[in-house]
Structure 1
């Protein structure tokens, strides 16, 4: 429980007086003494998030489906990190992970992969694969870790959604539908777990310059993605990790059920290109 949540036994006057005290704001960004689990922590956004949380003072469990990746990131971080190899889409494995970890103060689920295909070309296998890659692990994370955090009456769950779940584009039928479902899951979980003191949020990145994006896109595709954003810079894994870190920290103590969009401004732009047009003269 946060120091900014005084016991219910205190009077309203005492609560108001406590809330009016000036606090050391930097302390609210510290995670010293807390244990945070990062699912999908072996690469990209997950790796940067694990490092960021460790920099904030947390002990971190780096979970990945591939042992070498989990071990490598844990070794990069040092003594405050441990590695775990788990298939986060397997209910039994997730239950065993929760039982093995002991107390957990926060969970970050970064797992996900975009696979685009035209709607009428989607097979049953494509649809089921998107479910596993995008949504099933989030549901299992919520079910298993949500119960643990609720029993502790404190903690946070943070997920990585996507602007693909907030808008749409050709080829996004499966991926976008499940990312939209993820944002709904986040809000429902926030509503149901909030009374137990558990916060549930997500970040929604746009195009992010992860190692995988550099592997699958050519220079022209990268330039096209960059041109869609007003900010004159790429969104990096470290940027997204910073947003996640905010939501995990006590700076976000009053934030739950929210989706923090991190897309360089791409989703706020007007969809029609009207540059060079003069304003019509008034008649």
Structure 2
């Protein structure tokens, strides 16, 4: 085993969906830095192109709306030779269950869960037919721990975890690994509502063991690991990157005596 090559992607193509901003952009940049030929996909073609330009000549960009089932199926055919698929697109409507409208419910479920199902259904068999690869989705700590106003979002993330585990069972014999990353609170456009409320922001920062929020770039290493040969025996797993949030029950520091 040449351990110096564990995180090298030379000659390998990867597709990052949601590469236009946030965690998706940082994941694309990190994979590109390790030699991957990155296809930067996003519903916003301009931001996807910006990410590709930041990586350099080995990267390309494409417009892809994961809510468009036929477009996803077409992309799976066009990019069937990829060694890794990363998808980060998600949305949230922070409301208590009693206040949700069905339109809001559908919006969150369709992007967070239905689109994830579509991606697994489209890319899994194609990657299997081409010899295997790694599929990486993004769940959340909300898959296991919730608060008021997070019910629908949490349900979709828990659902994604179980979809990924099932896909890992079904595709494993064909060499396709399927895992999810579960971040804590990350400073992205999705969390802008919380970030702009100082009391809310500080309360979330205090909940983690590290006493702060994470930056999108701090999720990129987990993506590189799960996409690389370093994780060749890792599938059906949830890699939690939450600064210790789910490890801690309360913030009271007892006296030393």
1:247 partnered with 2:231: no
In 2, the alpha carbon distance for the partners of 1:232 and 1:275 equals: 13
In 2, the alpha carbon distance for the partners of 1:169 and 1:153 equals: 42
Residue 101 of structure 1: CA displacement? 2.7
C-alpha change, 1:212 and 1:134, in structure 2 (3 Å) is closer
- Structure 1 counterpart SS, 2:16: strand
1:84 partnered with 2:84: no
Residue 100 of structure 1: CA displacement? 2.4
In 2, the alpha carbon distance for the partners of 1:55 and 1:140 equals: 29
1:116-141 deviations in whole A, cap 9, x for unaligned?
11011111111101112211111111
Q: TM-score, normalised by structure 1?
A: 0.86
Residue 95 of structure 1: CA displacement? 1.3
Report the equivalent of 1:20. none
1:267 to 240, 246, 249: 246
Residue 107 of structure 1: CA displacement? 0.2
Report the equivalent of 1:3. none
- Structure 2 counterpart SS, 1:83: strand
In 2, the alpha carbon distance for the partners of 1:134 and 1:260 equals: 18
1:135-157 deviations in whole A, cap 9, x for unaligned?
11111110111011110121010
Residue 216 of structure 1: CA displacement? 5.2
Report the equivalent of 2:202. 223
2:37 to 43, 59, 80: 59
Q: TM-score, normalised by structure 2?
A: 0.94
In 2, the alpha carbon distance for the partners of 1:119 and 1:277 equals: 40
The correspondence of residues 138-177 of structure 1 with structure 2, limited to 5 A, is 138-177=116-155
1:97 to 69, 75, 90: 75
In 2, the alpha carbon distance for the partners of 1:100 and 1:194 equals: 22
1:213 to 183, 191, 207: 191
1:208-267 deviations in whole A, cap 9, x for unaligned?
122553565223322221111111443211111111110010000000000001110011
Report the equivalent of 1:234. 213
Unaligned ranges ≥5, structure 1:
1-22
1:31 partnered with 2:31: no
Bigger shift: residues 230-239 or 162-171? 230-239
Bigger shift: residues 189-198 or 212-221? 212-221
Unaligned ranges ≥5, structure 2:
none
1:111 partnered with 2:89: yes
Report the equivalent of 1:203. 181
2:235 to 244, 249, 256: 256
Report the equivalent of 1:186. 164
How many matched pairs? 256
Tell me the C-alpha RMSD between the 2 structures: 1.6
- Structure 1 counterpart SS, 2:145: coil
Largest Rg, 1 or 2: 1
